[in-house]
Structure 1
């Protein structure tokens, strides 16, 4: 039987080690990569391309969980992401939904709910902690759809647009934003498609019009 391969991104070593032991004790699961922050996690993903990613949200050092989730969804759209967090505030659930999480489980929940979530994601379905009602999830999904229809570009796409318009290369942008060059290229392709543009000159003009790029006044 092929085991479900998992990359685990969690900044607390003791928690990460405990989760790895627990998951590896399951007959159908194996942790193939561990990371302490998002940047390291993305490197692991590029190396092993797992079946599932589990990521914490609160990682003070390095790339945080929300940014990590966004970058994984862009660079590895076929890999489901399960958020594991201690925060039961609904705002965290909404943001995880907005960024494309396939599931969310609270750290203080029954550990076997985590196993159920992983197996549910592998089936191509979504799973959210039973603390949150289906009504709440549906309401957030509806709100997110309405909000996104009003906002053309994501925050990260705006960052890439601004830096591109200022003349930075893809490599320089990747270094500044702590993401891969491939991810920068994907962001750029996405934003140019949304804006129906093909040249840097068009991007510069758009950035100026939207206030993303300061206009140099003549002396």
Structure 2
């Protein structure tokens, strides 16, 4: 059984070369091609690919970013691998934000493209080795901090705000008339709920969600 691929790229030469390379692999087959997003979305229903490989920059018709959003909305379980020439991490972050399962640079080693396809087929994520692991992790964390819904209790939000403003556990304890142990327990719950690992991340979350007070701690 071969992995079925749909290619969406506005450059005919790129699609042709990519299709020839992928079809030469014993376990891959290109079942469809499209020059822009609208056509690509239509072909998903016809060819039923296992993975979509999509360019980001397609000035004519539906662009790559919109295409990714629409695929994620209409086919949330369909893996999408972004293939782009842009090395700026802002493109990596935006691709992750809108639901891409992986990203590979067009100028990368072809073997890395094959690794990415097989990783996505196995339900994994794959990001080009050009981007250090810490960069990918940071981008994912920043997106989580920006989009994670507030699920804190009123007390937890109060402790988060005071911690972000620089209050110590003892100062929070005195201010809220609760024990230091209770403050520590609340903090542990906050960090777990928001998937935070450091005070710096906690402060950043408070800033992003408007929980910081203007005045400094008294």
Same fold (TM over 0.5): yes
Structure 2: distance between partners of 1:133 and 1:68: 26
Shift of residue 150 of structure 1?
Answer: 6.4
| 1:8-35 Cα shifts (integer Å, max 9, x gaps) | 0000000000000000000000000100
1:79 aligned partner? 78
Structure 2: distance between partners of 1:46 and 1:25: 25
Structure 2: distance between partners of 1:48 and 1:25: 19
Structure 2: distance between partners of 1:72 and 1:5: 16
1:5 aligned partner? 4
In the alignment, is residue 62 of structure 1 matched against residue 40 of structure 2? no
1:105 aligned partner? 104
CA RMSD in angstroms comes to 1.1
Structure 2: distance between partners of 1:49 and 1:74: 16
TM-score (norm 1): 0.67
Structure having the higher Rg: 2
Give runs of aligned pairs for residues 8-23 of structure 1, distance below 5 A. 8-23=7-22
- Alignment gaps of 5+ in structure 1: 152-219
Structure 2: distance between partners of 1:8 and 1:50: 10
| 1:140-193 Cα shifts (integer Å, max 9, x gaps) | 111101111369xxxxxxxxxxxxxxxxxxxxxxxxxxxxxxxxxxxxxxxxxx
Give runs of aligned pairs for residues 48-197 of structure 1, distance below 5 A. 48-149=47-148
TM-score (norm 2): 0.67
After the TM superposition, list the runs of 4 or more consecutive aligned residues in structure 1 that deviate by more than 3 angstroms.
none
Structure 2: distance between partners of 1:50 and 1:76: 11
Structure 1: distance between partners of 2:39 and 2:149: 33
| 1:78-124 Cα shifts (integer Å, max 9, x gaps) | 11000000000000000000001100000000011101100010111
Q: Give the number of equivalent residue pairs.
A: 150
In the alignment, is residue 27 of structure 1 matched against residue 26 of structure 2? yes
Structure 2: distance between partners of 1:48 and 1:76: 13
**3-state SS of 1:30 partner:** strand
**3-state SS of 2:148 partner:** helix
Structure 1: distance between partners of 2:71 and 2:108: 25
In the alignment, is residue 47 of structure 1 matched against residue 46 of structure 2? yes
